Structure 1
Amino acid sequence: MKLSDQAAPPGSAPGGLLYRTGRACARRPWLVIAVWLLALLAAVGADRAWGGQYQDDFALPGTAVQTGADLLDAHGGPAHRGVPAQVVLSAGGEGLAGHRDAVEDAGQRLAALPGVIGVVDPLATPAAVTGDGRTGYYTVRFDSNPAQFDTSYLERVDAAVAPLRAGGVTVEYGGPLGKLAAPVGADRASEVIGIATAVIVLLLGFGSVAAAGFPLISAVVGLLAGLAGLGLLAAAFDFAAVSPTLAVMMGLGVGLDYSLFLVTRHRKLLHTLSDPAEAAGRTVATSGRAVLVAALTVTVALAGLFASGVGFIGMLGVAAGTTVLTGALAALTLTPALLGLAGRRIDRLRVRTPVDEPGDEPGGEPRGDGDVWQRWAAAVGRRPWTFLLVGAAMLALLSVPAASMRLGHVDAGASPVKATERRAYDLLADGFGRGANGPLTVVVTLDKAGAAPDQRTELAGQLHQALTDTPGVASATPPVPTADGALLVSTVVPDSAPQDRATADLLHRLAKETLPGALDPYHATGYLTGQSAAQQTFRDVLADRLPLVVALVVAAAFVLLLAVFRSPLIALKAAVLNLLSIGASFGVVVAVFQWGWGSSLFSVDESVPVESYVPMMMFAIVFGLSMDYEVFLLARIREYWLAGRDSQAAVAAGLASTARVISCAALIMTSVFLAFLLSANPVVKMLALGLGFSVVLDATVVRLLLVPATMHLLGRANWWIPAWLDRILPHLDPEGCHPEDSRPGDRTREVRA
């Protein structure tokens, strides 16, 4: 009997919301396309007119580093306000003194630039010039972060220092000014490579131009809409500079995957249904349900980042979640519209004979073991313990490096050697020592007893001696009072680079030993602030909150899967397997970037710590994406189980019917992620490698070994659920159908106790 003559499979009965949505979009394709185009144009136009800027905001309310920064803003005067950046100079021969007129002239030109609130001339500040006089730096303070200025601003900076360069002085830009000068276009190249790879994979995998083109159109439209929406959100909320890149990585990857699953299911249904609109409706009612659950799972995982208590991290989750949701929306509406527009001519344009998704219909008779994936599933079923142990051992081995993970901040020392921020970093390190790129600021407040001039002088002397005697300190300036006398301020230069473990140890030593020991007798309070101190505090806060984020995300995903698949063991298995694959991905990132194994292949020429927020971001994203493929595979297995297959046959048929599309989807997403290894930002490289490798592991070791092995071992227990739990759980079926609403003779209830 044809599928069109049968009752709908569970959860896809005509009349359901997703069924009606898919069929309506397919019947009125031009209307849906027009609505999407108008909405996209309006969103892009609004973003251009009112969209905000992206900038890193590491505000840490309630911490010592933030208190110190706030005190400097309130009492420090122009010398401590604003955002500092360095303009580093290097001269041979007589040194900078031989270019005194040009140095003074360039300083005046820099001070006259818009947005500049102060410039410190190196020749007027002995501490800003090396002993041989050949290297020095201006400290330029801006009223806002110059990294967010238009790149045309660099032309004005270049013009200001042109007399120096004309005289043979090397000039490089450090700090946020160096970030503004960072080369652009690498991320755009990554996007193009990701899209091109997706087209090739889809054409080779399915042979049909439409099967390749429709997912691409849907994904790009959803991505552009999401980026425009993100820009509008940035006008009201603070988003990190890496937010658009992260949004593109996520939106493009999941958008292609979601639409691909729908197109694949639709093409198969066209073999048994004469009406393309009906096929589109049933596609959205079945595979669309899995897309909806998958997108919801990813979004829940990303929302868990707010448990970090750091707005910077939570908003990164919002940035990624925005394009995930718009990608899912485009897949569920624009894709069926395109399918309806193509009708039965969907495979007319082809590069080879189109390939359909293999496998049987849930209610039909099994085809036997002729399909390679069914044979594979049968092989796993014969030796489930062997495959389970092999897969688990592989993930455990890859996870070993994760045990030595060191969190920190990846500074400009890891930037490409051609970047001006890297050259400025190297000049400062060579001339002033490695710690010159990460000075610390000590801020001391005095109560009434310590405010007397003689006590203040005595305190300043004791503090200076204590700072210089602290192991790990290269130099410390004598503490000087602010103009209003409210604070004492000293600058401490470590003898180690900002991203070294020794610098983190020094920060803790100063905060816990040196400052209390020197200040407590005077009833004074000291605070460490500055970029290095802020980064270390940021790292400590995230390290403390990571277990909470992990617990909340895992618990939320467990409950969601439990409600959808109504199986505690399946939900628990998914959580455990995803944790194993995440540990393996962490291990790869540590081995490459921290241990330096092959890091030169990614244009990182030194070992660096793992950026403090990368593990938390990777966990949320990888956990969500891993659930994507878990949902797509389990949804098909469950269809076969509810249609009457035994557990082993349902696993084999579900794997066979999804293997090709999951493999192609994983290859596409991996290509999208790995393409961002071209980025000049080492943190983006970390995320790209970690996410790309996690998808590979999930689509191979987890999906092909661990999932079928565990499901074969569990047998009927896969679908066991306590009766009391089944009663209290909500039925998360987007079609509005109860699981019992299936065909006569189907297995309508999971195994209940």
Structure 2
Amino acid sequence: MATFLYKLGRFAFRRRGFVALIWVALLAVAGVGAATASPPANDSFSIPGTEAQKAFDLLEQRFPGGNADGATARVVFRAPSGEKMTDPDNKAVVTKTVADLKASSPQVASVADPYQARAVSKDGSTAYILTSYKVNSMELKDPAKDGLKEAGEKAEKSGLKVQIGGDALQEMPETGSTEIIGIAISAVVLAITFGSLVAAGLPLLTALIGVGIGIASITALATTLGLSTTTSTLAMMIGLAVGIDYALFIVSRYRAELAEGRDREEAAGRAVGTAGSAVVFAGLTVVIALVGLAVVNIPMLTKMGFAAAGTVVIAVLIAISLIPAVLGFAGKRVFGRKARRRLEERLAAGPDASAEEKPNMGTRWARFVLRRPLMVLLVAVLGLGAAAVPAVSLELGLPDDGSQPVSSQKRQAYDAISDGFGPGYNGPLMVVVDAKGSDDAKGAAEQVRKTITRLDGVAGVSPATFNKAGDTATLTVISKYKPSSIDTENLVGDIRDEASGFKADTGAEVLVTGQTGMNIDISQKLNDALVPYLVLVVGLAFLLLMVVFRSVLVPLKAALGFLLSVVAALGAVVAVFQWGWLADLFGVEETGPIMSMMPIFMIGVVFGLAMDYEVFLVTRMREAYVHGERPGQAVVTGFRHGARVVTAAAVIMISVFAGFIGSSESMIKMIGFGLATAVLFDAFVVRMAIVPAVLALLGKAAWWLPRWLDRALPNVDVEGEGLRKQLEAPPVAQQRDSDPDAELTRV
């Protein structure tokens, strides 16, 4: 591996114009493909294997042309003080709005007149129009959304207070400004790390090229592969993150090779052969984590994972080919002026002076940990353990309009319906009665209705509505509780518990669905998939890291450390977003269950980044150990060369993710906080404290591998030992030209 990448690095450096032209051409081709491709279809959201999805599929068969899973909108009217919605003038406004909504778009399936549908509150202060659409919210076109907004605006001019809720106006949150802020912070951190604007710009430039090719390819292939615009979200986030990290690792190693006195082509080859090997295997761990999302069996999540994995592959290829090519163009400007001057003086002074190096912060910290490994390990583990305690109370769910900011129109509509009718009206349950196997379909549906009515937590049940064949009925069940509450989840469980009795007594099958039922099933499916996903991802990564490090204990330590940091981050998320600790500081207006997708999403993203840091940091330690250093000294060497780079990479990622905490969307805010916290814990507590402490305690045992396993595992030579033996290694003084600063001035 290292030998092949060494040759690739030297080739890319020599033929830098040709290599750069290839990547620019790929970007142009992908851009043209994206520009000329037909618009991608929206995802038909489905959750295979759930009862809610089974009910939706049944309704599509038995109610042709129905809209069981279609988008809905609630146009909520509140009368001015002293008036009622039943007053003639107000009633006329609502009736006109009903007509406007019916004519607003061909995608409208039905508009319920509140005066006929009993959607006027008992005190007459509130009424709402329920508008149903033929397609789900992802497939709803802009004219339909605009028509809904215009109808509400016209009604509000009459003096009524009008808000629109529901999922019909669901839109992907705009995050462009936060991405720009993240990139700006990344540029500052890189400039401080390298002390050179050119060196700082290289990772940003190559990362943007990689993300551009990845996103353009996704757009170009969207129609062919059935991808939607949502699949590019995760791809952009991960592609930008790893693209910067991988370039940062290789540029840093290149500078280190130059500092040892090697000429620029040789330095590029060695940087790609060593740091590039670490990048390849770090990229493989990220790909494993993202492709592993297929275990959840949610098509949209699977597509997002595969698309992001493709972007990571592009980032790896760019790191090992385009980076050395661009380094060839950078010339001596890869160092800042002061660094160039110091390096020229060292090279001019001879090999002994060149070998001297003052201890940096990484060196001093590593030596501190080596002196007190047990104390550092206990403090770090106890600290993460304390942060993880709230995770025991983790409650999963999907956010609804009740979690929106109080100032938002959706939240105001939600609160108005809760005040006027009851919280359950914001998310009614749909019960489907499949009476095809029953002798008395109407009797079976009535028995189901009566039984559900008697259950605790039920505010009301509508009469059964049958299809034309008379063998399938739907009932609307109103809960007494909020749609996203545990009480409503328990009610769904109670209805499903009664279903077996209905089947035995009447021969009818009873299924619970609707948006609320679907949300509950999604949460349960994600919860059930969490352990298999962890086993798959951590297990495969353990095997991969065992090949990389030629050790059993180092990969085990890496996996356990990652799990500890993720659980601690989940504990922090629960404390803030579920318990409300420091909620005002982070702008959390409404506490509640944690988004059900959060744990798996965070595991996938953070695992990839954590293994990046692990591979880069520990590979340098392994390299020093293989080259003859004592275990403790190898830890110091790894930190001397890697701590600064890993710290910079972690700060960049934390800044990017933390930018999303300012989002008004609670879901985006939660993701940003969780990812930023997880990277903070993993990079600075696990990798910087627990890793050196454990390696110090283990000593030589850390690198132990049974002989039979050593023979069985392929030797990929990540640390470059085989490469070092193949290369002729003349003294540093002979590598330099007669001019001591020739390596820096040669372009």
- TM-score in terms of structure 2 length: 0.90
The equivalent of 1:502 in structure 2 is 487
Query: Aligned-pair distance for 1:297?
Result: 0.8
The letter for the 2-side match of 1:202 is L
Query: Aligned-pair distance for 1:526?
Result: 0.6
The equivalent of 1:524 in structure 2 is 508
Moved more, 437-446 or 163-172: 163-172
Alignment match of 1:626 (pick from 610, 613, 627): 610
In structure 2, relative to structure 1, the CA distance for the partners of 1:345 and 1:620 (3 Å cut) is closer
Query: Aligned-pair distance for 1:640?
Result: 0.7
In structure 2, relative to structure 1, the CA distance for the partners of 1:588 and 1:240 (3 Å cut) is farther
Is contact 1:254–1:669 with CA below 8 Å preserved after alignment?
no
Matched, 1:111 2:95: no
The equivalent of 1:132 in structure 2 is 123
Query: Aligned-pair distance for 1:145?
Result: 2.8
Matched, 1:556 2:543: no
Runs of 5+ in structure 1 lacking a partner?
1-10, 746-753
Query: Aligned-pair distance for 1:393?
Result: 0.8
The equivalent of 2:264 in structure 1 is 276
State the alpha-carbon separation in 2 of the partners of residues 398 and 682 from structure 1: 22
Is contact 1:53–1:148 with CA below 8 Å preserved after alignment?
no
In structure 2, relative to structure 1, the CA distance for the partners of 1:425 and 1:215 (3 Å cut) is same
Alignment match of 2:150 (pick from 135, 151, 159): 159
Query: Aligned-pair distance for 1:465?
Result: 1.9
> Where does 1:215-226 land on structure 2 (aligned, <5 Å)?
215-226=203-214
User: How many equivalent pairs are there?
Assistant: 720
3-state DSSP class of the match of 1:83?
A: coil
State the alpha-carbon separation in 2 of the partners of residues 18 and 278 from structure 1: 12
The equivalent of 1:3 in structure 2 is none
CA RMSD of aligned residues (A): 3.0
State the alpha-carbon separation in 2 of the partners of residues 75 and 137 from structure 1: 29
In structure 2, relative to structure 1, the CA distance for the partners of 1:457 and 1:309 (3 Å cut) is closer
The letter for the 1-side match of 2:291 is A
Query: Aligned-pair distance for 1:227?
Result: 1.6
Deviation track 1:671-727 (CA, whole Å, cap 9, x = no partner) reads 111112233332222222121112111221112211111111111112211111111
The equivalent of 2:300 in structure 1 is 312
Moved more, 67-76 or 606-615: 67-76
Query: Aligned-pair distance for 1:296?
Result: 0.8
Alignment match of 2:397 (pick from 378, 385, 408): 408
Matched, 1:235 2:220: no
In structure 2, relative to structure 1, the CA distance for the partners of 1:729 and 1:443 (3 Å cut) is same
Moved more, 40-49 or 290-299: 40-49
Alignment match of 2:19 (pick from 32, 53, 66): 32
3-state DSSP class of the match of 2:170?
A: helix
In structure 2, relative to structure 1, the CA distance for the partners of 1:296 and 1:134 (3 Å cut) is same
Matched, 1:609 2:593: yes
In structure 2, relative to structure 1, the CA distance for the partners of 1:79 and 1:299 (3 Å cut) is closer
State the alpha-carbon separation in 1 of the partners of residues 479 and 595 from structure 2: 20
Is contact 2:619–2:719 with CA below 8 Å preserved after alignment?
no
> Where does 1:86-485 land on structure 2 (aligned, <5 Å)?
86-92=73-79, 93-95=83-85, 98-149=89-140, 151=142, 154-180=145-171, 185=174, 187-237=175-225, 243-273=231-261, 275-347=263-335, 370-447=359-436, 449-451=438-440, 456-485=441-470
Runs of 5+ in structure 2 lacking a partner?
347-351, 730-747
3-state DSSP class of the match of 2:592?
A: coil
Alignment match of 2:669 (pick from 662, 666, 685): 685
State the alpha-carbon separation in 2 of the partners of residues 366 and 49 from structure 1: 56
Query: Aligned-pair distance for 1:396?
Result: 0.9
3-state DSSP class of the match of 1:126?
A: coil
State the alpha-carbon separation in 2 of the partners of residues 351 and 155 from structure 1: 58
The letter for the 2-side match of 1:94 is K
Moved more, 662-671 or 69-78: 69-78
3-state DSSP class of the match of 2:460?
A: strand
The letter for the 2-side match of 1:135 is T
State the alpha-carbon separation in 1 of the partners of residues 538 and 280 from structure 2: 19
The letter for the 2-side match of 1:245 is T
Deviation track 1:455-514 (CA, whole Å, cap 9, x = no partner) reads x4433433222111110111111223223212121100111111111111111011013x
State the alpha-carbon separation in 2 of the partners of residues 336 and 666 from structure 1: 23
Is contact 2:74–2:165 with CA below 8 Å preserved after alignment?
yes
The equivalent of 1:694 in structure 2 is 678
3-state DSSP class of the match of 2:167?
A: helix
- TM-score in terms of structure 1 length: 0.89
Query: Aligned-pair distance for 1:288?
Result: 1.0
The letter for the 2-side match of 1:523 is G
Is contact 1:678–1:685 with CA below 8 Å preserved after alignment?
yes
Moved more, 667-676 or 136-145: 136-145
In structure 2, relative to structure 1, the CA distance for the partners of 1:663 and 1:430 (3 Å cut) is same
Deviation track 1:591-621 (CA, whole Å, cap 9, x = no partner) reads 1111111233333311121111211121122
In structure 2, relative to structure 1, the CA distance for the partners of 1:79 and 1:407 (3 Å cut) is same
Deviation track 1:351-379 (CA, whole Å, cap 9, x = no partner) reads 999999x9xxxx99985884443232222
> Where does 1:653-692 land on structure 2 (aligned, <5 Å)?
653-692=637-676
The equivalent of 1:18 in structure 2 is 5
In structure 2, relative to structure 1, the CA distance for the partners of 1:331 and 1:496 (3 Å cut) is same
In structure 2, relative to structure 1, the CA distance for the partners of 1:208 and 1:641 (3 Å cut) is same
Identity of aligned residues (%): 37
State the alpha-carbon separation in 1 of the partners of residues 251 and 437 from structure 2: 74
The equivalent of 2:737 in structure 1 is none
Moved more, 282-291 or 106-115: 106-115
State the alpha-carbon separation in 2 of the partners of residues 48 and 171 from structure 1: 40
The letter for the 1-side match of 2:149 is D
State the alpha-carbon separation in 1 of the partners of residues 487 and 138 from structure 2: 28
Is contact 1:107–1:119 with CA below 8 Å preserved after alignment?
no
State the alpha-carbon separation in 2 of the partners of residues 644 and 129 from structure 1: 82
The equivalent of 1:8 in structure 2 is none
In structure 2, relative to structure 1, the CA distance for the partners of 1:736 and 1:148 (3 Å cut) is farther
Query: Aligned-pair distance for 1:238?
Result: 5.6
Is contact 1:473–1:495 with CA below 8 Å preserved after alignment?
yes
The letter for the 1-side match of 2:631 is S
Query: Aligned-pair distance for 1:189?
Result: 0.9
3-state DSSP class of the match of 1:177?
A: coil
Query: Aligned-pair distance for 1:638?
Result: 1.2
In structure 2, relative to structure 1, the CA distance for the partners of 1:480 and 1:271 (3 Å cut) is closer
